[in-house]
Amino acid sequence: MRHVLRLLSVLAVLALGLAPAQETYVTFNADGSITIRLLTDDETVTFAPGELGNLVGPGLQPYAGKTITVTTNSGGVMGGISGPIYQVRPAWEELTGAKLNIVEIPLGEAFPQVFADLQLGTGQFDGFIVGADWYGDLVEGDFVVPVDTYFDNPGFPTWDRSGFPPSLQTLYTWGGRWYGTLNDSDGQVLYYRRDILTDPAIQAEYQAATGRALVVPPPTWDDVLSIARFLNGRDLNGDGEGDSGVVLHLKVNAQGLFHFISLAVPFVVTRPNQPFWFDPDTMDPIINSPGHVRALEFLIELSQYGPAAQVGWDLGEGWDYFLRGRAAFVFSWGDVGSLVQIPERSDIKGKLGASILPGVREVYDTASGQFVAVDPPNVVGNTTGGSWHGMISVLTPNPDVVYHLWATQATRSFSLWNVRQGWTGVDPGMAWHFVPPYGNASLEAYLSQGWNADDIVEYHRAYRDNYFAPLNLSFLRIPGAFEYRQSLDQNLSKAESGQLTPQEALDLTFAQWQETTDRLGRDRQRAIYRASLGLE
Amino acid sequence: MQKSPIKYVFLLPAVLWVLAFTIFPLIYSLRISFYNIRLGRNVSAIWVGLHNFARVFTDSRVQESVVVTLVLLVTTVTAQLVLGIALAVLFNRHLPGRSLLRTLMTTPLFATPVAVGLLFLTIYYEEGGFINSILPWKIPWISHPQWALVGVGLVEIWQWTPFCFLVFLAALQSLPDELYEAARLDTSSGWRVFRSLTLPMLQPVVILVLLLRLTEGLKVFDIPWGLTGGGPGTATQTYSMFTYRAGFRHFDFGYSSALGYVMLIAEMIVITFFFKRMRQVYE
Amino acid sequence: MTTGRNATLTAVGTSAVTRRVVRQWRQVGIVLLAFLATAVAGFPVYWALSMSLRRPADTFTVTGLGVPFLQYRPTLENWRTELSVAETYHALLNSTGIAVATTVLALLLGVPAAYALARFRFHLIKNKDIVTWFLSQRVLPPVVTVLPFYLIMRTLHLLDTQAALIIANTTFNLPFAVVILRQTFLDLPLELEEAALVDGATPFSTFWHVARPLAQPAIMAAGLIILAFTWNEFLFALTIGRLDAITLPVRIAGTAYSVRGVQFWYVSTQALLAIIPPTVLALLAQRYVVRGLTLGAVKG
């Protein structure tokens, strides 16, 4: 027992000795602007005069003595989505006098934990970083506070809603009201190795081998497949080993299903607000339609030209593979583009190409039950992912304090800082995030953060095209979204690992979804689904 | 001494504590298992009778998880016992630095299982991770349904073999030396000594360890949670994981309770079958 | 005759040499096997250390044994980052507090109960049946009780408190303590206690001053095991402790299942923080642990 005590006291001493010391993080400049220092980066962000609202200023601490607790995705101090909150915390606490507790919740647990807190009335959390698919449960349950009441209040930090593409604005609002404050924009785009696809020698060889021209960026999924097949097994990073045509992150109970969702949309959706998930009249799933099945068959065929291990890979492993130059294609979130720029993580800086996800030349037509040819290819944008952003709990005694924090994160200055960093997991989506000619952000500011000038233009073009695309995926935002998605995800993974055929996997999903809908109440689900599509 | 009322003061707090925190939850969960609970603006609990129990027996995900759990249980426990005995016999000899080696052998015993599961993600990494870089083949440790099960099983074996080893070693060392000397003189084959002498004498301990490992193994949750998340598909999703997901991810409280109860009842049947034996060994 | 005899002798001589050689090689083989087994057992902890010293880019590029300095330039960056946030200490302190409190509480309740079951006879329900009942608690799958326990803790307003986790862990570990310590008390010689009683000591002081000190090693063993089990407990901690009562395993799982994938470099750092304390304890008290783990049925 004496050993135990000794060990504990050593731990305690360590804990005390290493605890961070007190410092100042805020500078009030003469011109009224405010410069804050971030937690670990030795970086600063300067806010324009008045940008942070008139509640804060020299000698003012409007929320002294108050404490709020917010949830965020797990990831730690330098992790995606959670990192920026840690980074801004010391300065924000100094500015407002409030104390901020950050609760990290693993991705799969995030919604259940927050929902349980609200449903059981515990009220432990004052605010949350939510995924866009939580809206059905949270707003329809009256669990969150709209934020548009704060918009004209000069006390609070101001943030710019003018740059929102309609596809993203939908995700931050419900029934015409704003519930979210700008933070992340999520959507998948196609990334490729520009250096390889535009290499004349490779282009000539490709033409000779396949009889068609190598168009960059590839306009259809069939082109991607054909190029991936052609490049698979070649050495793409000069290490003497064969590399892969493509890499995917298909791990189950993580975010594997998003690959299928973003890829499948153009196979099925040809007009705005066309349902992708359920028949809005009967609430019967349409997830096993011939279009969906063909998309899954295609995804599995494409995955043959990637490493077998990707079935068990989460984003980190999949991205790492692409960043090390071991795959020619990946289709994924905005993080890839910014991670490519970080020398500690990537070997392919300056070699990045990006575009909106390709289209298809044959689309499933629900009315006729046939596949019909389309020209030009049917291209559809997507907002798959969380588009993680702040919301305010209806149970908090301090909604103002929570809003102040979220609005600080949403300010133009902080948001721009966020999207310029590779590691923050906050991806660009606003018109003012993009560099010319796609937006009006300063190219120099990006370059000074270490971006490659060619890479950033590719990257911003891809995202501008994606979010502002005329056709966009309708997001599944109804109650139980989490459960629906989990059963889809598990069944997709079964198909991808060869345990079920695509048809079987989606038929099984159909049956499980029916069960869930019946359990949750078909009429209520139908009403909310229709509302989420803007049908009523 | 027999009459002293103090015996109740000694015993009752412990009994009441365990009663309070197991019986009440069990009654509560039995009640919930007859309801469909819908969350949302208005929480509703709809009496559904035995419907949740009926679901347990028709849900293909349950059947898969039962298979996964049983396959893991049987293979890992067998391997742990066999390896445990083999290592105990090995370490029961004169070895240089035996006590140091034995100490290191126990490292896995109390290593936080969920952390271990996650660590093995990198050890199993298929594109040049530790194991695949020293093997001549590329083994799909996580991405292939059957290999993933093997992967989870090996971590379970890694973690719990030292337990069996320690127990068997202790048992071996408590065996009288004279018997061995006699046996050695009698026959030259080490294997025959092992078969005819060591194993029979170890038998009670083996059965005890078997029972302990079987009941613990049924609970398996942390390691697949960290390592595979139950995938690919549901290839490594254990019964405990599925029950947890039904309750805390889908908020299907009634179903989750029914799943728990079915497991409990199944286990009770097996245990009562085994319990006489267990008690005999234990007493 | 003579030649024959010589021949026999030679044969015996050769086979003795052969046997000695065989035996030596066998000994070498056995030693190698033992080293190999030990290396396998200890490897993941070394691996965690190696991973925690790598830059993110080295995570998957370093192959083989991943020896720092030889295969990559180690960095303390991950440790620095991990140790610079209050949340890490918070989780460490919670894990420690919950484990220590559970241990104390389980022993406080368990030692007297074990003694009572070893030394007194109960009539309403037989001692044997009470022990069996305690034993059966160990079998109860935690996933069966986690949901109702969660709902009950919510009614008691104890969600996300250390108290809730201390209650839960005490409930799991108390039966274990009772069962193994009862066996210990049974194995103690009765004469000393009888002598004390004859000298006029009360049953309590007999227990406290005579029996308990004799059982001290076993009590310590039980305590250590409870401490380690509680430290490692994941399911209840995951559901009940989130913020105020977050424990180290939950924090690790959190870092792992981040929205941007597993951050192996932090996970390995945290994994070491989690693994080291219980492992060190187990190494220190190995002698007792065997006995504890087998519910007292095997003497370590």
Tokens of residue A523, six digits: 């009429």
pLDDT at position B3, please?
Answer: 59
Q: Where are the beta strands (DSSP E) in C185-232?
A: none
Residue A162 lies in a domain: yes
**Mutation target among C78, C89, C251, C260 for the A interface, most CBs of A within 10 A:** C260
Which residues in chain C have their CB less than 8 angstroms from residue B18's CB?
134, 137, 171, 174-175
Which residues in chain A have their CB less than 8 angstroms from residue B143's CB?
308-313, 497
Alpha-carbon gap: B82 to the closest alpha carbon of chain A (Å) = 30
Flag whether pLDDT at A294 surpasses 80. yes
Instruction: Over range A313-332, report the average pLDDT.
Output: 94
The domain ranges of chain C are 2-75, 78-293
CB distance from B128 to chain A under 8 Å? no
Q: Is B192 left (phi over 0), alpha (psi -120 to 50) or beta?
A: alpha
With cut-offs at 50, 70 and 90, classify the pLDDT of residue A12.
Answer: low
Instruction: Kindly determine whether residue C257 and residue A320, on different chains, have CB atoms separated by under 8 Å.
Output: no
pLDDT at position B40, please?
Answer: 73
Q: Encode pLDDT of A325-361 as tens digits.
A: 999 999 999 989 989 998 888 999 999 999 999 999 9
Q: Encode pLDDT of B33-80 as tens digits.
A: 999 988 876 778 899 999 999 999 999 999 999 999 999 999 999 999
Tell the residue number behind the tokens 């948001």, with chain if given: A415
pLDDT at position A488, please?
Answer: 97
Tokens of residue A431, six digits: 């018109």
Instruction: Kindly determine whether residue C258 and residue A344, on different chains, have CB atoms separated by under 8 Å.
Output: no
Instruction: Kindly determine whether residue C130 and residue B11, on different chains, have CB atoms separated by under 8 Å.
Output: yes
- B191 with B238, same domain? yes
Instruction: Kindly determine whether residue B229 and residue A252, on different chains, have CB atoms separated by under 8 Å.
Output: yes
- B82 with B142, same domain? yes
Domain extent, residue B250, equals 59-282
The residues, any chain, with a CB within 8 Å of residue B275's CB and separated by 6 or more, are: C132
Flag whether pLDDT at A7 surpasses 60. no
DSSP C209: I
- A171 with A228, same domain? no
- A336 with A483, same domain? yes
Q: Which residue of C lies nearest to A86 if distances are taken between CA atoms?
A: C85
Q: Encode pLDDT of C171-209 as tens digits.
A: 999 998 998 899 889 988 888 899 998 998 888 999 999
Instruction: Kindly determine whether residue A7 and residue C254, on different chains, have CB atoms separated by under 8 Å.
Output: no
- A435 with A325, same domain? no
Residue A306 lies in a domain: yes
Instruction: Kindly determine whether residue C234 and residue B279, on different chains, have CB atoms separated by under 8 Å.
Output: no
Residue A254 lies in a domain: yes
pLDDT at position B276, please?
Answer: 65
* Cα–Cα distance for residue pair C156/A508, rounded to 1 Å: 41
Residue A462 lies in a domain: no
Flag whether pLDDT at A466 surpasses 90. yes
CB distance A466 to A191 below 8 Å: no
Q: What's the domain count of chain B?
A: 2
- A268 with A415, same domain? no
Q: Parallel, antiparallel, or unpaired: how do β-strands A99-105 and A67-73 relate?
A: parallel
- B158 with B40, same domain? no
Q: Encode pLDDT of B123-154 as tens digits.
A: 998 887 889 988 888 899 999 999 999 999 99
* Cα–Cα distance for residue pair C113/C125, rounded to 1 Å: 14
Beta bridge partners of A193: A352
With cut-offs at 50, 70 and 90, classify the pLDDT of residue A374.
Answer: very high
Q: How many CB atoms lie within 10 A of CB A145?
A: 18
Residue B1 lies in a domain: no
Q: Which stretches of A269-375 are DSSP H helices?
A: 290-303, 315-323, 335-339
Q: A16-25, A334-343, B66-75, B95-104 — which is least confidently predicted? A: A16-25
Q: Encode pLDDT of B228-267 as tens digits.
A: 989 899 999 999 999 999 998 888 999 999 999 999 998 8
Q: Encode pLDDT of C70-94 as tens digits.
A: 888 888 988 988 887 777 899 999 9
- B32 with B123, same domain? no
pLDDT at position B275, please?
Answer: 64
Instruction: Kindly determine whether residue A106 and residue C256, on different chains, have CB atoms separated by under 8 Å.
Output: yes
What part of B 14-53 touches C (C-beta under 8 Å)? Answer: 14-15, 17-18, 21-22, 24-26, 28-29, 32
pLDDT at position C6, please?
Answer: 47
Q: Encode pLDDT of B150-166 as tens digits.
A: 999 999 999 999 989 98
- A218 with A350, same domain? yes
Please name the member of B15, B130, B267 whose beta carbon is closest to the beta carbon of C66: B130
DSSP A331: E
DSSP A433: G
The residues, any chain, with a CB within 8 Å of residue A399's CB and separated by 6 or more, are: A126, A145, A392
Q: Which residue of C lies nearest to B13 if distances are taken between CA atoms?
A: C109
Flag whether pLDDT at A16 surpasses 70. no
CA–centroid distance for A308 within its chain: 25
User: Residues of chain A with pLDDT > 70: what percent?
Assistant: 96
What part of B 44-63 touches A (C-beta under 8 Å)? Answer: 60-61
Residue A394 lies in a domain: yes
Distance linking the first and last C-alpha atoms of chain A: 69
**Mutation target among A104, A111, A387 for the C interface, most CBs of C within 10 A:** A104
* Residue ranges in chain C whose pLDDT is less than 50: 1-9, 300
**Between A507 and A385, where is the model more confident?**
A507
DSSP B194: I
Residue A6 lies in a domain: no
Flag whether pLDDT at A324 surpasses 50. yes
CB burial of A322-331 (b: ≥16 within 10 Å; e: otherwise) equals bbbbbbbbbb
- A290 with A413, same domain? no
Q: What's the domain count of chain A?
A: 2
- A170 with A39, same domain? yes
Please name the member of B21, B87, B171 whose beta carbon is closest to the beta carbon of C171: B21
Amino acid letter, residue C199: D
Residue A219 lies in a domain: yes
Find the helix packing angle between A412-420 and A82-96, rounded to 10°: 150
Instruction: Kindly determine whether residue B233 and residue A491, on different chains, have CB atoms separated by under 8 Å.
Output: yes
Q: For C78-293, CATH number? A: 1.10.3720.10
pLDDT at position C2, please?
Answer: 42
Residue B100 lies in a domain: yes
Q: Encode pLDDT of A485-516 as tens digits.
A: 999 999 999 999 999 999 999 999 999 999 99
Q: Encode pLDDT of A410-460 as tens digits.
A: 999 999 999 998 788 899 999 999 999 999 999 999 999 899 999 999 999
- B37 with B72, same domain? no
Please name the member of B4, B10, B25 whose beta carbon is closest to the beta carbon of C149: B25
pLDDT at position B195, please?
Answer: 80
Q: What is the CATH number of the domain that holds A324?
A: 3.40.190.10
With cut-offs at 50, 70 and 90, classify the pLDDT of residue A75.
Answer: confident
Amino acid letter, residue A103: V
Please name the member of C66, C234, C282 whose beta carbon is closest to the beta carbon of B222: C234
Count H helices and E strands in chain C, helices first.
14, 0
Instruction: Over range B102-119, report the average pLDDT.
Output: 87
Domain extent, residue A208, equals 189-382+476-532
What chains are in contact with B, requiring at least 3 Cβ pairs below 8 Å? A, C
Please name the member of A7, A113, A255 whose beta carbon is closest to the beta carbon of C277: A7
What SS3 class is residue A362? strand
Please name the member of B127, B209, B221 whose beta carbon is closest to the beta carbon of C143: B221
With cut-offs at 50, 70 and 90, classify the pLDDT of residue A237.
Answer: very high
- A65 with A156, same domain? yes
* Cα–Cα distance for residue pair A419/A439, rounded to 1 Å: 14
Residue C46 Cα distances to A10, C65, C268, angstroms: 22, 9, 10
Alpha-carbon gap: A335 to the closest alpha carbon of chain C (Å) = 8
Alpha-carbon gap: A505 to the closest alpha carbon of chain B (Å) = 10
CB distance A147 to A180 below 8 Å: yes
- ipTM for the assembly: 0.87
Which residues in chain C have their CB less than 8 angstroms from residue A388's CB?
259
Residue C156 Cα distances to A251, B229, C151, C161, C163, angstroms: 38, 32, 9, 11, 11
Flag whether pLDDT at A197 surpasses 70. yes
CB distance from C14 to chain A under 8 Å? no
* Cα–Cα distance for residue pair A270/A361, rounded to 1 Å: 12
pLDDT at position A158, please?
Answer: 96
